[in-house]
Amino acid sequence: MIRLSHVVAIAALIGSAGYAYTIKYESIVQAEQLARLQADVDRERAAIAVLRAEWTLLNRPDRVQALAERHLDDIVEMDPRRITRFSDLPERGERDDGIALKLEALGLAEPTATPGRTARPAVSTPTTTGSTR
């Protein structure tokens, strides 16, 4: 009986040692992943800080004023008389597509099938196995 209890105790000791070993290395892996994620978060925060600094630099009032003076010289105030209703617009003219007219003259106006592709069957309404359609 003593020998059986020794064997059970040794087996329990080996099992608990293996379990402790597994927990230790899983916690090390988790800590490494946490450190990587923290480093990623720190890099992203640094990138956000750089982008905010660039945004602040680009939106300085003196810079925006200089750009407005340089590029907005030709802009004039909008004349309310230029606003019109859709019904006041002229009808659209006949489409003048020279390439399409040439293709029609050659008899090539209809679309052709792409080589290497088979025509897809027409889409039909799905039916059940018991329907008589």
Q: So what's the pLDDT on residue 102?
A: 84
What single string gives the DSSP state of each residue in 42-73? HHHHHHHHHHHHHHHHHT-HHHHHHHHHHH-T
Confidence grade of residue 17 (pLDDT, cut at 50, 70, 90): very high
Q: How far is CA 119 from CA 108, 110, 115, 122, 125, in A?
A: 19, 15, 10, 9, 18
If DSSP codes are grouped into helix, strand and coil, which group holds residue 113? coil
Do 111 and 102 meet the contact criterion of CB atoms below 8 Å apart? no
Pick the more confident residue, 109 or 36: 36
Arithmetic mean of pLDDT over the chain: 84
Task: Of 32-41, 81-90, 97-106, 116-125, give the lowest mean pLDDT range.
Answer: 116-125
User: Does the predicted model carry a pTM greater than 0.75?
Assistant: no
3-class SS at 98?
helix
- b/e for 1-23, b at 16 or more Cβ within 10 A? eeeeeeeeeeeeeeeeeeeeeee
The stretch 41-51 carries a mean pLDDT of 96
